[in-house]
Structure 1
Amino acid sequence: MKIGKLWIKYDDIVECGVCERRCRLTLGSRGVCKNYVNIDGRLMHDGYGVISAVESRPIEIKPFFHYWPNSTSLTFSGYACTFYCPWCQNHHLSFSNLPTTSRRIMPQELVEKALKNRDEGLCASFNEPTTLFDYLVDLFELGRRFNLYGTIVTNGYFTPRAIQELIEHGVDG
């Protein structure tokens, strides 16, 4: 668990600044994405490093056009989503809660795996990446140091400040 980067405090209520829902959380409550929680008047990223899937995949199967052709990216996901779309192809991830017990995979471990696999990039996909916002900031910043591109497959429902942070820390596409 890690303290979130984007939030505003109002007494015991915190307002999350990651997605446009801007959830206002009372003590102990979680946002719509289920990954952020108000603990002691601070926004905590409970989903930090809680990864549901990891695999190397060709970039061509992502919704990017002519982006790093013939490359592979270490593709990973977390749990839950900011939307509840009945047609979601990954509903088993996006509609689920965080597991109560799960090993957290730190950014260094994913970068090492990408390098070992000879992947050229990192891609947050399968569920909504903004649920992993603070993790992505750390991961993509580290990945950039190793010349790994950073991509997200997203519904796009994040705040302008959140996307700016992601771009500044290594999201390329």
Structure 2
Amino acid sequence: MRSDMILVALGANLPGPDGAPPAVTLTRAVAALEALPGLRRVTLSRFWQTPSEPPGSPDYVNAVLRLAGEVEPVALLAATQAIEAAAGRIRPWLNAPRTLDLDLIAIGDLLRAAPDPILPHPRAHLRRFVLVPLAEVAPDWRHPVTGATAAEMLALLAPVAMRPLVV
């Protein structure tokens, strides 16, 4: 499937296996995603520092990458999971701290209820740490189910203390 709106959310709050800080891990993940056959970078949001949930873990670094190109959703999911594994991602429990998290937010206006990947991402509209950087890279994107923009979805969420990072 060809799309000029492939949205991937990136997040990390633990050092990589080599001790690299989360921002470096995200930069490496962006390079790995850009290197996938048939894809090219359109734009990358700023990196955002976001408080961890639940509290007590290190803060997250979050961003959204907008790609364009030819992609099959299942193949892209497999590629993102391989990139996560290469960055030392383990999944001991739901919402555990992580070295790298890559979530497919949307591929154009594709609707996919099953099998994985579910598109658009079923919880993206509830996550300020996704919507803030998403609004930077795709301000005109509309959720294919609700029709809302990132700014409209953000207006419905409680504030969270996020700040842009200089990397």
Q: Same fold (TM over 0.5)?
A: no
Larger relative contact order (C-alpha < 8 A, sep ≥ 6)? 2
TM-score (norm 2): 0.29
Q: Which has the larger radius of gyration?
A: 1
TM-score (norm 1): 0.29
